[in-house]
Structure 1
Amino acid sequence: MDPFMEAAIHEAQLGLAVGGIPIGSVVVKDETIVGRGHNLRVQRGSAILHAEMSALEAVGRQPASFYQGVRLYTTLSPCSMCAGAILLYKISHVVIGEHQTFMGEEALLRSRGVKV
């Protein structure tokens, strides 16, 4: 299995271990994980801390140019909010673990040139 997807799965397991929703994500730049996170909606009572948002938050504030060539790995298909963040930061490649449980905005991402 891809080591970056394994890292995203590990994040999902961490979330589940503390009573959260088991979804994980990592942000990869130049073959290095620069941000990782898991869904924190339950733990923090947050409406927006999905795994993808948590991973992007972990990257920290960066110039727009930082995101060129970045890949985002997520264990579940991104929702509308997370797809919006992917488009906003011009992330060109998203690797999705599964989309049977929830079919997110893959068509939107593809229509905007994101490799899914």
Structure 2
Amino acid sequence: MHDEPHGRALLEVARQALLDEVAPGLAGRPRFVALMVANAIGIVMREMEAEGAREAAWARALATVADDGGDRAGRLARAIRAGAHDAEPGLYAALVETAEIAAQTWKPDKSTR
């Protein structure tokens, strides 16, 4: 049992305080900065939430390239550009999943805010 707030919960409290208590009393550039900080906190919270899923999808994509300790992502990109993985639905699904996770992290639907 944990009786201490966790990082994500602390970020949420800070974000809500900025949005509900600080930003409404500001105007101009200070308001813009407060809203920008609240947005950045939201992005970090979503990154934390999606980290496991993103890592799993990216690992599935990288699994299509031999692990020789080098730049697997670079080799995967070159192989894709060369057409070496055109008929691999598993790779396609993993890459789509990483893109969807990134999209929801950086520009979420209103339902996930």
TM-score, structure 2 as length reference: 0.26
Determine which structure has the larger helix proportion and give its number.
2
Greater relative contact order: 1 or 2 (C-alpha under 8 angstroms, separation 6 or more)? 2
TM-score, structure 1 as length reference: 0.26
